[in-house]
Amino acid sequence: MLNEQWHLFAANRPPTAFTHLDSAAAGRCSVATLRAAAAYAEREAVAGAYVAQAEAAGTLEHARIMLAGLFAVEPDGIAFTESATASLHTLLWAWPLAEGDTVAVAPSEWGPNLDAFAHRGLRVARLPVDRDGVVDLDALPGFLAAAPPAFVHLTPVASHRPLVQPAAAVAAACHGAGVPVGVDAAQALGHIDVACGADAAYGTGRKWLTGPRGVGLIAVARPWWDRLRPAASAMERAAFADASPVLLLESHEAHVAGRIGLAAAVSEFLAADPAAVRARLAAVGRQTRAALAAVPGWEVVPEAIATGATGATPGSAITALRPLDGQDVAAVRARLLAEHQIVTTAAEPARAPREMTGPLLRVSPHVDCAPEDLERLAAALLAR
Ligand SMILES: Cc1ncc(COP(=O)(O)O)c(C=O)c1O
């Protein structure tokens, strides 16, 4: 049985016959989020796109304020983009970096980020980690002192397995060494606390915040605003002459309806109490791993979180299953969907090429996960 709050999360969404175990890919929008986006889109057709956007300025500003609060930056430090990937590319070209500079990452780093670093001409160094892949906070100061990278890039919540990095403690250690920190919050936003002291962070609204697709964001801490080198046209610079330089990172031709939808989704997240949502998601992860522990032919990848006085992290709602009998994970994912209407993710090694050796089946329920959902998945995995 779900308690009333988590039951409400499901009740606030369109009814579905699917079992949704893929929030780490994209969460399900609430009816309020969908209506807000649709109403705005209609208003564009009624009043004119730019008139509608001007009318909605207060809502967009409110979204900026709410997101800034989550990242603990100033509201003018938020720029809307289309995705986490788009955000990183924008940031990498705007950040004061030179070709050949070094970025230090954990082995669990999201694969496409490594490609983005290579595209920017950066060298990648390996942060010291323990045997679970969690950043080793004892070894970090020595690593930073020995060969300081241009910046450390951390993905606090990994995509492919239940791994939560001690982002705030890493940021503190980096700042102690004078090294800036960038954070990929694609899986962290709406999942764990993202106010970790990063110099720049970015993410997407569509996963754990359950906003519409196609809306990402960048959050930049105040001391970096004037050091950014945004690739903006003279026309944009003139239009934003009085604004924060961070707004020059924003995509100005955009799916504004999605941003309006995200405003509604973030309002709902805040009303649900972020701390309660985080605790619930950590519990959902534990519940999922326990429910799937005995499924023959699959091994539940253990959770890796930081413990100890500094840097202890909450759990992840993401579960990964390793095939033990040579199952084709993509085919299993397809079968679960076609035959059981269960939505999961086949996570191929390209997601984390520095540590993954084979594909994993990812299971990522949201707060409304009921024991029956997991029983259905366990039974479907057994059925061949
Ligand atoms: C850790 C991580 N970083 C980045 C991304 C890319 O996000 P987007 O699809 O919004 O570009 C993802 C997407 O799954 C992710 O899990």
- The two beta strands, 181-184 and 200-204, are parallel
pLDDT in tens, 146-164: 999 999 999 999 999 999 9
More confident residue, 2 or 108: 108
pLDDT in tens, 60-72: 999 999 999 999 9
* Contact between 341 and 327 (Cβ < 8 Å): no
For residue 303, pLDDT beyond 90 = yes
Q: Closest ligand 1 atom, CA of 83? A: 10
- Quote the percentage of the chain above a pLDDT of 70: 99
Alpha carbon of 369 to ligand 1 centroid (Å): 22
pLDDT in tens, 33-65: 999 999 999 999 999 999 999 999 999 999 999
> Is any ligand 1 atom within 6 A of the Cβ of residue 33?
no
Give me the pLDDT at residue 81, please.
98
CA distances from 260 to 205, 212, 290 (A): 11, 9, 38
Nearest CA to ligand 1 atom 3: 186
C-alpha span between 200 and 143 (Å, rounded): 21
> Is any ligand 1 atom within 6 A of the Cβ of residue 168?
no
Bridge partners (DSSP) of residue 78 are: 219
Bridge partners (DSSP) of residue 129 are: 135
- What is the residue-wise DSSP string for 247-287? GGGS-SS--HHHHHHHHHHHHHHHHT-HHHHHHHHHHHHHH
Tell me the best of 114, 204, 213 to mutate to test the pocket of ligand 1, counting ligand atoms within 8 Å of each CB and taking the most.
204
- Where would I find the H helices in 215-363? 234-239, 256-271, 274-292, 329-340
Q: What is the pTM of this model?
A: 0.97
Locate the DSSP E strands across 53-138.
78-81, 102-105, 123-126
Over residues 201-207, mean pLDDT: 98
> Is any ligand 1 atom within 6 A of the Cβ of residue 314?
no
For residue 3, name the pLDDT band (cuts at 50, 70, 90).
confident
CA distances from 87 to 94, 112, 143 (A): 11, 12, 28
For residue 307, pLDDT beyond 90 = no
